[in-house]
């Protein structure tokens, strides 16, 4: 079974009951610092157009929509069915159904490590973006994520995703990195709400942070 078919089968049969709504306090605490980091580096206004590639059930779509004009895209109809946003497209990251420079920004979170050829998705994101490409991925150097990625075959692609790997991946396709954030210890669907007051305070830069967010420019 190809990587695409493996992922397609998994996400179309994923237990959506286990997915938290984007408004859940843990999701908000996970997403908010990343969006704040983005806003400190590039302008986001009500006129900014952004494509959320691999948007899933809308963890980021939901919050970006409060700031700018967002279109969400995913290859899982099941995940799109529980995304609360209204502007959604059913398609895959390696064949974006948009013309060149259709959006000011293209963004993806926790997507590339699921793909057999993440470079193809980056090429597509670069093609349809006017200026910025933003990538957020789980950090292999976080010990909890390393174990999770090793055990779960659908996540095994994440074993190579480090800060340097992502930076080099973007640079290989002619992108210029503006800034990078490695931080956090919250896991969106796994962190118990009772631990939120403690773990949200660990959202500072450190090499074992559970998420890498990089802002690239064309």
Domains and CATH numbers, the chain: 3-217 (3.40.50.150)
Pair of tokens at residue 78? 């099941």
Q: What is the pLDDT of residue 108?
A: 98
How would you label 18-54 residue by residue, b for 16+ Cβ within 10 Å and e otherwise? ebbebebebbbbbbebbbebbeeebebeeebebbbbb
CB 202 within 8 A of CB 32: no
CB 88 within 8 A of CB 55: yes
4 contact partners, CB below 8 Å, separation of at least 6: 92, 115, 116
pLDDT along the chain (218 residues), means of 10: 60 68 96 97 97 96 98 94 96 96 97 92 98 96 71 69 94 97 92 92 87 96
Q: Is 149 exposed, middle or buried (0-12, 13-18, 19+ CB in 10 A)?
A: buried
Q: What is the pLDDT of residue 64?
A: 98
Report yes or no on whether pTM surpasses 0.75. Answer: yes
Q: What is the dihedral of CA 107, 60, 158, 201, to 10 degrees?
A: 120
Q: What is the pLDDT of residue 10?
A: 60
Q: What is the pLDDT of residue 155?
A: 67
Q: What is the pLDDT of residue 1?
A: 47
């Amino acid at each position: 079974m190809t990587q695409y078919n493996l992922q397609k089968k998994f996400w179309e049969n994923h237990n959506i009951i286990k997915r938290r709504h984007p408004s859940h306090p843990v999701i908000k605490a996970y997403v908010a610092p990343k969006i704040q980091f983005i806003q400190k580096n590039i302008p986001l206004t009500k006129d900014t157009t952004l494509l959320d590639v691999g948007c899933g059930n809308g963890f980021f779509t939901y919050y970006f929509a409060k700031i700018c004009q967002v279109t969400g895209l995913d290859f899982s109809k099941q995940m799109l069915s529980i995304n609360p946003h209204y502007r959604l497209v059913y398609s895959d990251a390696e064949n974006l159904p948009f013309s060149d420079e259709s959006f000011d920004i293209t963004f993806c979170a926790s997507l590339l490590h699921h793909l057999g050829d993440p470079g193809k998705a980056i090429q597509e994101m670069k093609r349809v973006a006017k200026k910025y490409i933003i990538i957020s991925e789980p950090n292999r150097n976080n010990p909890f994520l390393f174990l999770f990625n090793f055990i779960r075959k659908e996540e095994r692609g994440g074993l190579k995703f480090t800060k340097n790997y992502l930076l080099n991946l973007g640079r290989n396709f002619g992108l210029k990195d503006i800034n990078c954030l490695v931080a956090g210890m919250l896991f969106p669907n796994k962190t118990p709400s009772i631990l939120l007051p403690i773990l949200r305070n660990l959202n500072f830069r450190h090499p074992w942070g559970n998420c890498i967010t990089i802002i690239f420019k064309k």
